[in-house]
Structure formats: structure tokens, C-alpha cells
Amino acid sequence: MHPPRISIKDIAHAAGVSHSTVSRALAGSSLISAETRERIQALAEQMGYIPDAVAQSLQTRSTRTVGLVVTSIADPFFAAIVEGAEETAIAAGMSVFINVSHNDPEAELALIETLHRRRVDGIILAASRLGMRHTQALARVQVPVVMVNRQPDEHDPADFHSIAVDDRGGARLAVEYLLSLGHRRIGYLGMGNRFESNRSRLEGYRAALAGAGIQPPDAWIQTCPAEDASGRGDVAAAETVFPALLAAGVTAVFCYNDQAAVGGLLACRKLRVGVPEGCSLAGFDDIDLARYVEPPLTTVHQPRREMGRQAMQMVLDLLAGKRVENRVLSPTLVIRSSAGKPGEANCPLPLLSAEEKTFRFMEMTE
């Protein structure tokens, strides 16, 4: 019932030549006379021939395929990276295997091995922290590896490369802006499941405060527990943790990412704390969501799609034998309305006294 798949042999038979001639003709080799080349190409077209990439890969030892590992796709940050990477891959005639690790190191290890089995030509990782076993597994694949938003380690293998945004600098940018608005009591809302970048952003936060001669007490720094690794519960986790910051008496909070900031926003709404009048908020990433909430989020912009593109381009360059340099992009601050001067006026929600905040906080967490 199925019309049989046709191969170059079938075409060779139909054209009365050998299959090698067909192969060369379709590859546009100049070894073949123009006449037969065109004849064969026309024939192939007409017979509906579609080359078998599997067989080609086996022979040429290149699959024109790259593996992409992300922690989540539902997280718009990674979604944009995937889009950017896919886009430049397709343009270069490559295909991409998508893999999501759910922030599970074991799963990630298994995914890397699968990619190895499939003989991908390159790997892009936009995922969790890598342990020694991961590094070894990756090195064994003997293929270019590009990490997104992970600073390279000094004893990484030579074929490890990276493209990252300056987390530390971005955080400084945001916190210095809050300082410039007059805030002195500034909190940090972190994400426990984003080890490296969370650490970097926390550092940037500390550096900015230190620059203003401020030493934040522990209570100003709250971190969402790491257990919720799906990346989908970011908002809810932040909403739960946020009241502790209000209770600590901060007038502004710099949040690990926009999801966390939205969580803070929801918490404020529930507690009837006005934003930015009662508490200023700054996020990170500049996902679409940041523009749509009320008030729109002041946040640190990352060129996420561009990072995906560049990561893939690095893989392509490495495959082409070019030398590439690790890149770290500078984020920019997008000023919207979620951060204002401390205690600014005309606030539809009543400003709460410290006691009231504490009271409501206890109400929420019980």
C-alpha cells in the first residue's frame, strides 16, 4: 500500500547510471557533466526523492544536529533562548533536539548521554549548575559545548564556551537605581534553585549597598526554597516569601527575576501595600509579563532571544573551526513604574505602619 521510499539507487537505475554518479550529481559535483547532472537532478525531483539524513550522517560523521538543554520552557526566559537558538540553527541547515531538565541534575546527566548517543554536533546548555560528572560526560561527547549564563570554570575542558549576561552588574544597576531614588532599606528576594546566577545577583546587590555604605542585615535577604524546581512556581513561591521582607521594614526590594517581582506585587496587593508607594520593586529579565502587570515593572533587561542566537552561532563557528571568545553581555535597566521614591504620595492603597505590616504578614503566613 505504501509507495516504497526511493533511494539514489532507484534513481541510478532509472537514469541508467551508477548510484555514485547520482550521489555526485545531486551534490552538484563538477566531476559530473552538466548534462547528466541536470538530467539526474530533474529525475530526482520528479521521482520525489528525499535524501536520507540518517545515512548521510553515518557516512559523513556529522548529523547537522545540536542538542539544547534548558531547565524549563514554560519559563519565558528560556523560551526566548530556545527560539533564538532554533532560528539561527534552521538558517544554517541544522536541527535542534530540545530537552528540558526540570532542574534535575540526574535527568540532565541522562539527557547529555542521550545527546551523545544521537551524535549531535554540538550542545547548548541553559540549565542548572553542573557537577563534575556533568563536565566529564560533556567532555566525552567530544563536541563543542556552549553554556548560557554560566561563567566558565578555569578547569573546564577546552571545548567549553559560554555566553552570559553580567548578572552582578545588572543587579548593581538595579540596586543603585533604587538607592538613587532615596531608598536606604533595600531587600533582596532570591531564588534558591538558581544557584550561580542567584549568587551573582546577590553579590551585585551587596556591592551596590556597600558602595552606599550600607550593610544589609540578614532579614533583608530572603530566598525562595530550592525544592520548587519546576520554574513554574516562581511567582507563588515569591508571594509566600515576600511578606517577610515587608516585616523586616524594607522600603524597596530587588528581586531575582520578574516572576519573583510579580510574586511580590501580588503579596503587596493582598496586604494592601501600594507599589511603589508602600514598597518599590525591581525585577530582572524584562519578560513580557513585566510590561503587563500594574504597575509595570522596573527591571533589568536581558537580550534573551539574542543570547539564544549567539549561543547557536558560537556552536556554528566552533564547528567551522573558527576561534570564538566567551562573551558577557551588559544588561540595561528598563525604568517603568514599580519603583519610586520612598513614601511618595497619591497612593490609592493606604500606607501601612510597620506594626500593621507585621500583623498582616503573620496573618498571611499562618
Partner DNA sequence: TATAATGGTGCAAACGTGTGCATAAGGCGG
Partner DNA sequence: CCGCCTTATGCACACGTTTGCACCATTATA
- Number of alpha carbons in the 13 Å side-chain half-sphere of residue 146: 29
Minimum CB separation of residue 11 from DNA in Å reads: 8
CB closer to its own copies out of 85 and 147: 85
21 binds, among DNA, its own copies, none (CB under 5 to 8 A by kind): DNA
Q: Give yes or no for a contact between 295 and 275, defined as CB atoms under 8 angstroms apart.
A: yes
Provide the mask over 5-44, with x wherever binding to DNA is found by CB under 7 A and - wherever it is not.
x-xxx------xxxxxx-xx-xx--xxxxxxxx-------
Minimum CB separation of residue 271 from its own copies in Å reads: 15
164 binds, among its own copies, DNA, none (CB under 5 to 8 A by kind): none
Exactly one of 31, 47, 53, 354 binds its own copies (CB under 8 A); that residue is: 53
Stretch that binds its own copies, among 149-157, 180-188, 284-292, 357-365 (CB under 8 A): 284-292
Q: Give yes or no for a contact between 335 and 177, defined as CB atoms under 8 angstroms apart.
A: yes
CB closer to its own copies out of 78 and 220: 78
DSSP 158-173: TTEEEEEE-HHHHHHH
Q: Which residue carries 549567539 as its cell?
A: 310
Stretch that binds DNA, among 1-9, 152-160, 284-292, 302-310 (CB under 7 A): 1-9
Exactly one of 27, 42, 47, 90 binds its own copies (CB under 8 A); that residue is: 90
d(CA 255, CA 183): 15
Query: Is the link from the previous residue into 276 a cis peptide, with omega within 30 of 0?
Result: yes
Provide the mask over 45-84, with x wherever binding to DNA is found by CB under 7 A and - wherever it is not.
------xx--xx-xxxx-----------------------
- Which stretches of 248-344 are DSSP H helices? 258-271, 288-292, 304-319
Helix, strand, coil percentages (3-state) for the chain, rounded to 5, are 45, 15, 35
